[in-house]
Amino acid sequence: MNKKVELLLPAGNIEKLDYAINYGADAVYMGMVDFSLRSMRKGEIITAENLKKAIDLAHSYKKKVYMTLNIYAYDDDLKNLHENIDIIKDANPDALIVSDFGILNVLKQKLPDIDIHISTQTNTLNSEAVKFWRDYGATRVILARELSIKQLSQIKKNVPDIELEVFVHGAQCVSLSGRCLLSDYMTHGERKANHGGCSQPCRWKYKLLEETRPGEYYEIEETARGTHILSTKDLALINYIPKLIEAGMDSFKIEGRTKSLYYVSAVAKAYRKAIDAYYAGEKLDENEMFNQLLKIGNRGYTTGFYLDEQDHQGYSYDVSKGLAGSDFLFEFWDMSQKDGNNLYKVKIKNKILNNDTVEIITPGECFETKIEKIYNDTLDEEQAVGNTNDEIWVKLSKEPQDYKYALARTIGIKNMR
C-alpha cells in the first residue's frame, strides 16, 4: 500500500491554521494577499509581514504548508511577485500552488528548490496533461473536480510517479474548474474572480426580462422552491474515502479558506476520523459521519462528478447561502477557578442562556454538557445570558479534558436539506 493519504485543510488566517492542524490536518494551504484566489477579511490574515510566522507555526507541529500563488497574472502581478520572492523564500513553504505559466516560469527561475503543485484552475482532466506537468517539473497535480473516481484511478495507473490531489469537501463553483468571468462582468471589473475577488454571482437570485416587454419580470424557476439556478450544492465525499484511497489519491483537500473557525475544525475532525478508520480497518456508521457534516454550514450536499453518474440534484435552487445544521456558540479562551469550581472564559459567537444544553467538540472529544452558570468578564457578577461577541465565563456540568481548542455548538441538526 502507498503511504497514508494526506488530509489538507484551508488556513484562511493564522488562528484557523492552528485549529486545522490540531483537529487533524496533515498539511494546510494558504494564500498571501495579492496572489491568492481567496480574499481574506477576518483574523490575522496572511501577509508578507507574517507569512514566515504562519509557516513556522505549522512546521513546529511537523506539518506541511502549501502556499497558493494561483491567480492568473498580469505583468503588474509578476512585478509584485518578483518584489516578494525573497520573502517567500525566507518563509520556506513546502510547496507553491500555481496555475499561471508566467508565475510558474518565475518560480522555476527564482525558487527552484520549492515543490510546485499545479492548481485545479488548470482544469487537468487526463493522463497526458498530468504527464505534461510532471515533465515540466511539478511534483503534484490537483485534479479537476469534473472527474469520476473511476477516471481518477485510471490517471493514477497511467501516471504513478507524481502525486495527485483531489477535493473531497466544500463549496463548488458553477464554472469549469473555477474559471469564471461572471463576477468580472457584473461588478464592472472591480471583483475579478481569477484575482481572488469573486462576488459569487452564481449565488444571486435571477429574474427573466423579455426585451420587448420592459418592466415585466418573470421568475426563473427550476422548481417551485426558488430561483438560484446557478448555485451548486457543496461537495461531501465523507462516505467515499475508502474508494478514493483505493483509487490511489495522495491528498484529500477541503475547500474553505473564507469559512469559519468552527467549519475548519469540525470538517477536519470528521475527515480525520474517516481516514484513520480506513487504515485501522474499522467500519464507520455512514449516517453518523454524514450527520456530523450536516452540523456544519452547507448549501445541501452532493457527490458532484465523482460517482459513475453525475449527481443531477447537485444544484441548490432554494438557497444560496450556507446554513449550518448546528449553530457555533462559543470558543474557549481561558480557565479559572471560583468557589472551587472550574470556569471557562469563552468568546460568544451566538447567544447562549443559562441552563442551555450544548455540544462540545475538541480534537479528541464530542459530548453534551449543560451551562450551569454564566459570569461577566470580570467574574464578579452572575448573568442569565451571553450575547454575541461577549467575552464571559461559564461553568459546565461536564468539562473537556483539554479546553485549549474546544468549541461549543447547539445540539441536534436543523436546516436539513
Classify residue 103 as exposed, middle or buried by CB count within 10 Å of its CB (0-12, 13-18, 19+): buried
Q: Helix/strand/coil (H, E, C) string of 20-76?
A: HHHCCCCEEEEECCCCCCCCCCCCCECCCCCHHHHHHHHHHCCCEEEEEECCCCCHH
> Which CATH number fits the domain that encloses residue 76?
3.20.20.70
Query: Are 29 and 151 part of one and the same domain?
Result: yes
Residue 199 falls within a domain, yes or no? no
Query: Are 334 and 296 part of one and the same domain?
Result: no
What is d(CA 179, CA 28) in angstroms, rounded to the nearest whole number? 23
Percent of the chain with pLDDT over 90: 67
Residue 121 falls within a domain, yes or no? yes
Query: Are 292 and 332 part of one and the same domain?
Result: no
Q: Is the pLDDT of residue 322 over 60?
A: no
Q: Is the pLDDT of residue 315 over 60?
A: no
Query: Are 149 and 65 part of one and the same domain?
Result: yes
CA distances in angstroms from 324 to 59, 228, 272, 292, 390, listed in the order given = 32, 19, 20, 11, 21
Q: Residue 60: CB partners within 8 Å, gap ≥ 6?
A: none
Q: At what angle do helices 149-158 and 127-135 cross, to 10 degrees?
A: 40
Query: Are 298 and 333 part of one and the same domain?
Result: no
Task: Dump pLDDT digits (tens) for 228-273.
Answer: 556 678 899 999 999 999 999 999 999 987 888 999 999 999 999 9
> What residues pair up with 142 in beta bridges, in sequence order?
165
Residue 88 falls within a domain, yes or no? yes
> What residues pair up with 236 in beta bridges, in sequence order?
169
Classify residue 9 as exposed, middle or buried by CB count within 10 Å of its CB (0-12, 13-18, 19+): buried
Query: Are 282 and 135 part of one and the same domain?
Result: yes
Please compute the mean of the pLDDT values over residues 202-229 and round it to a whole number. Answer: 64
Query: Are 394 and 263 part of one and the same domain?
Result: no
Tell me which residue range forms the domain holding 332.
Answer: 328-410
Residue 270 falls within a domain, yes or no? yes
What is d(CA 14, CA 50) in angstroms, rounded to the nearest whole number? 9
Pairing of strands 341-348, 328-338: antiparallel
Task: Note the pLDDT of residue 70.
Answer: 87
Task: Note the pLDDT of residue 212.
Answer: 76
CA distances in angstroms from 251 to 8, 150, 169, 266, 392, listed in the order given = 7, 17, 12, 19, 40
The residue type of 341 is N
Task: Note the pLDDT of residue 200.
Answer: 75
Assigned C-alpha cell, 363: 480534537
| Confidence band for 190, pLDDT divided at 50, 70 and 90 | confident
What is d(CA 261, CA 332) in angstroms, rounded to the nearest whole number? 12
| Terminal CA-CA length for the chain | 37
Task: Note the pLDDT of residue 317.
Answer: 44
Task: Dump pLDDT digits (tens) for 123-178.
Answer: 999 999 999 999 999 999 999 988 999 999 999 999 999 999 999 998 777 665 56
| Confidence band for 314, pLDDT divided at 50, 70 and 90 | very low
What is d(CA 48, CA 85) in angstroms, rounded to the nearest whole number? 10
Query: Are 245 and 355 part of one and the same domain?
Result: no
Task: Note the pLDDT of residue 104.
Answer: 96
Task: Dump pLDDT digits (tens) for 13-59.
Answer: 999 999 999 999 999 999 876 665 555 555 678 888 999 999 999 99
Assigned C-alpha cell, 138: 511539478
- Average pLDDT score over the chain: 87
Q: Model's pTM, two decimal places?
A: 0.85
Residue 17 falls within a domain, yes or no? yes
Query: Are 296 and 341 part of one and the same domain?
Result: no
> Which CATH number fits the domain that encloses residue 353?
2.40.30.10
Task: Note the pLDDT of residue 60.
Answer: 98
Query: Are 281 and 348 part of one and the same domain?
Result: no
Query: Are 89 and 171 part of one and the same domain?
Result: yes
Query: Which of the two residues, 90 and 218, has the higher pLDDT score?
Result: 90
Assigned C-alpha cell, 314: 447537485
Which residue, chain included where needed, has cell 485501522?
280
Number of domains making up the chain: 2
Residue 322 falls within a domain, yes or no? no
What is d(CA 299, CA 416) in angstroms, rounded to the nearest whole number? 10
What is d(CA 20, CA 149) in angstroms, rounded to the nearest whole number? 26
Residue 225 falls within a domain, yes or no? no
Please name which of 301, 302, 238, 241 lies closest in space to residue 266, comparing C-alpha atoms. Answer: 238
Give the domain-ending residue among 284, 302, 320: 302
Query: Are 359 and 296 part of one and the same domain?
Result: no
Phi/psi for 315 (5° steps) reads: -110, 140
What is d(CA 270, CA 7) in angstroms, rounded to the nearest whole number? 11
Give the domain-ending residue among 252, 286, 302: 302
Residue 318 falls within a domain, yes or no? no
